[in-house]
Structure 1
Amino acid sequence: MHVRSFQLSDYRPVTQLLQTVLSEICYDETMEAFGRQLSWDSELVLVATVDNVIAGIIIGTIDRNRGYYYRIAVHPDHRRKGIGKLLITSLKQRFEQRNVSRILITADEHNEPILSLYEEMGYATQDFFRAFRQLSIVNG
């Protein structure tokens, strides 16, 4: 298992993964934010590979000096193998390298089922960002 920055050649397998894992509405919202984040700072989009096949992705962003875990997706065939935790840890390191003031988890209706994973990793309810205003990658 290996985590690295997103590369242009990953686009098709990543979109296929997102289509497999996310609902149609979530996919549409995620693809818009994904494109915006890639144009702003692709170093905050990470993929996890297993035997050179993309098994997971995490999309992060920095907005007003705060790091946000926006969306994480792991292929069903690769769940419960530590990929999600590795992606979260790897993105946290990137946030820390950039000296963000705080790290938050975007807690929208699509992320609710995985908030327990973040809690398991030491994040608390006050770390969940339930948006009164949308992140820049969501609303442009």
Structure 2
Amino acid sequence: MNVRSFQLSDYRPVTELLETVLSEECYELTMEAFARQLSWDSELVLVAAIDDEIAGMIIGTIDNNKGYYYRIAVHPDYQRQGLGKRLIESLRTRFEQRNVTKIMITADEHNEPILSLYESLGYATNDFFRSFQKLSIVAG
């Protein structure tokens, strides 16, 4: 498995992955945030490739000097094999390289089912970002 920065050639496989994994509502919200993040800082969008096939991806952002895990998606064929953890750890490294003051997890209704994954990596409930004020990649 290779975790790397998103490349333009990943666009179609990543959107297909998101369509497969996310609900329709979540997909629409994620695609808007994905496009904004790519235009601002594509280095915070990572993909996990296995044999040149996109098996997972994660979107992060930095807002007010805080790093945020926004959305993670792993293809059902590769779930529970450590891909999600590798993506999270790789993005954490990027956040640390950028000297963010705190790392948070966006905890909207679409991320609730995987918050336990973040907890297994040492994040606590006070690291979950639940707010009526949306991140700039969501709000525009």
TM range (shorter): over 0.9
TM-score by length of 1: 0.99
Alignment partner of 1:36 is 2:36: yes
Matched residue, 1:9: 9
Please give the per-residue CA displacement for 1:72-115, whole angstroms capped at 9, x wherever unaligned: 00000001110000000000000000000000000000000000
| Residue identity matched to 1:60 | G
Aligned-residue CA RMSD (Å) = 0.3
Offset, 1:131: 1.5
Q: Which runs of 4+ in 1 moved over 4 A?
A: none
Offset, 1:132: 2.3
Map 1:1-140 to 2 at 5 A.
Answer: 1-140=1-140
Matched residues in 2 for 1:73 and 1:29: separation? 14
Please list every run of 5 or more consecutive structure 1 residues that lacks an aligned counterpart in the other structure.
Answer: none
Please list every run of 5 or more consecutive structure 2 residues that lacks an aligned counterpart in the other structure.
Answer: none
TM-score by length of 2: 0.99
Q: Give the paired residue count.
A: 140
Matched residues in 2 for 1:51 and 1:11: separation? 17
Matched residues in 1 for 2:72 and 2:52: separation? 19
